[in-house]
Structures are given as C-alpha cells and as structure tokens.
C-alpha cells in the first residue's frame, strides 16, 4: 500500500504542475503574447505525457498486485484523502482548461472580425433558386 500511496503522490504532483502551466497559459492569453504561448503549449504537452506515464505505472502496479482501488479507499483513510484530492485537482484542471479555451475563442473571434474589417469580402453575394447565398 505504501507504493500505491507514493504513486498517487507522484501523480498529484504532476497534476499540480499541469495546473500551474494552465494558469500561466491563461495569463499569457490575456496578455496577447504569441511567442510565450507557443512555449507554454509545448510544456503543457510534456506535462500531459508525464501524467499519462504516471497513471499507467499506477494502473500497472494495481493490476500486478490485484489491488481493487475501491476496496483500498474504504480501508485506508490516507489513500482515500489523496484520491479525493486528486479528483478535486482534476476538476480544477478541467475548469481552468475551459477558461483558457473561452479566452482563446474570444481572441480568435476578435482577430477574425478585425481581419474582415481590414479586408472585406468584395464578391457580390446573390441568391440561388433555393434562396441560399451564392458567392
């Protein structure tokens, strides 16, 4: 059980690192910088790979030792608390990811509107026989 606890601690630390990177990405998105955004995206991808590796190691350990996680959670209070902390952290990660996506979508919409203003579509739109636009 000690090994399982250690593996869960490592997974928690990797998830926390990802959360910090997502928060950094959020502030970079708000600042409008593009070069740091590219660098942080690479770091986020590396953090995701690390998390996946840690999770695979934990699952492999559980499989090799015939450990039922639900049973362990009922028996061991420390592992149960750690499991709940990981679940809460994953929820926080999802929330931060959604916030970053919203900011990114807003930036893209703004950029597209500015580009349309600068260089509008000069073709004349007409209707076809079905009432749809033809350009």
CA distance 15 to 90: 7
Contact between 86 and 4 under an 8 Å Cβ cutoff? The reply is no
Q: What is the pLDDT along the chain (135 residues), one digit of tens a residue?
A: 789 999 999 999 999 999 999 999 999 999 988 888 889 999 999 999 999 999 999 999 999 999 888 888 899 999 999 999 999 999 999 999 999 999 999 988 988 888 888 887 766 667 777 878 766
Whole-Å CA distances, 17 to 29, 42, 48, 104? 18, 14, 10, 21
- Element containing residue 79 per DSSP (H, E): helix 77-118
Task: Determine the pLDDT at residue 49.
Answer: 97
Can you tell me whether residue 132 is helix, strand or coil?
Answer: coil
Task: Determine the pLDDT at residue 124.
Answer: 63
């Amino acid at each position: 059980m000690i090994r399982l606890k250690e593996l869960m601690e490592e997974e928690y630390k990797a998830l926390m690192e990802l959360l910090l990177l997502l928060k950094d990405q959020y502030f970079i998105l708000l600042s409008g910088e593009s070069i740091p955004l590219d660098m942080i995206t690479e770091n986020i991808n590396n953090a995701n790979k690390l998390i996946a590796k840690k999770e695979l190691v934990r699952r492999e350990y559980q499989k090799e030792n015939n450990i039922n996680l639900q049973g362990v959670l009922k028996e061991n209070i420390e592992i149960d608390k750690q499991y709940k902390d990981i679940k809460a952290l994953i929820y926080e990660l999802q929330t931060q990811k959604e916030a970053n996506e919203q900011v990114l979508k807003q930036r893209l919409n703004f950029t597209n509107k500015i580009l349309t203003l600068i260089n509008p579509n000069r073709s004349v739109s007409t209707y076809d026989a079905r009432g749809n636009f033809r350009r």
